[in-house]
Amino acid sequence: MSAPGRADFRAAVELAGLGDLPPDELALLRHYFDDWRAQVVQLRAVLEPADEPATVFVAAPAPAAPPAGATRRDREAAPGAGR
């Protein structure tokens, strides 16, 4: 999705399949969207061309492999595993 499309509230809502929300819910969503878009434009401003391919966020050391004997249920119960 191109940035201009995402920057347009109606287009973004239709793409997300949320176009049939009641008017009061759309109004609140619009309020959030406008506030957030005003913030998010700041991000592009601090990135330089050299950052684009090179900057990769690493929040923590590499995840350790599950131990021998870990079950599929154990893996699925891990945070971020769609619990």
Partner 1 sequence: MKAAPAALPTLADTAELIRRREVSPVEVTTGLLERIERLDGALHAYITVTADVALRQARRAEAALAAGTYRGPLHGIPIALKDLYDTAGIRTTADSRVLEHNVPAADAQCVTRLYDAGAVLLGKLALSEFATGSVVEGPFPAARNPWNPDHVPGASSSGSGAAVAAGLCLGALGSDTGGSIRIPAAYCGVVGIRPTYGRVSRRGVVSLSWSLDTAGPLARTVTDCALLLQALAGHDPLDPASAAAPVPDFTAGLGPDLSGLVVGVDREHFFGPFVEAQSGAAVEAALGVLRGLGAEVREIELPLLDVAGAALNTIHLSEAHTYHEARIRARPDLYGPALRAYFRLGALAGVADYLRAQQVREKIRRQMLAALREVDVIAGPTTGTLPPRLDAPGTAMVDRFSRRSLTAPFSLTGVPAISVPCGFSADGLPIGLQLAGRPFDEATVFRVAFAYEQATPWHTMHPQE
Count of other CB atoms within 10 angstroms of residue 52: 8
Please select the residue that binds partner 1; options are 20, 23, 49, 65, rule is CB under 8 A.
65
51 near partner 1, judged by CB under 8 A: yes
Asked whether position 58 contacts partner 1 by CB under 8 A, the answer is: yes
Say whether 7 sits in a helix, a strand or coil.
helix
> C-beta of 10: minimal distance to partner 1 in Å?
11
Q: Cα separations (Å) of 28 from 4, 18, 22?
A: 21, 13, 10
Torsion over CA: 73, 77, 80, 83 (sign):
positive
Binding mask 16-45 toward partner 1 (x if CB under 8 A, else -) reads xxx--x---x--xx-xxx-xx-xxx-xxxx
Q: Does residue 67 bind partner 1 (CB under 8 A)?
A: yes
20, 23, 72, 80: which one binds partner 1 (CB under 8 A): 80
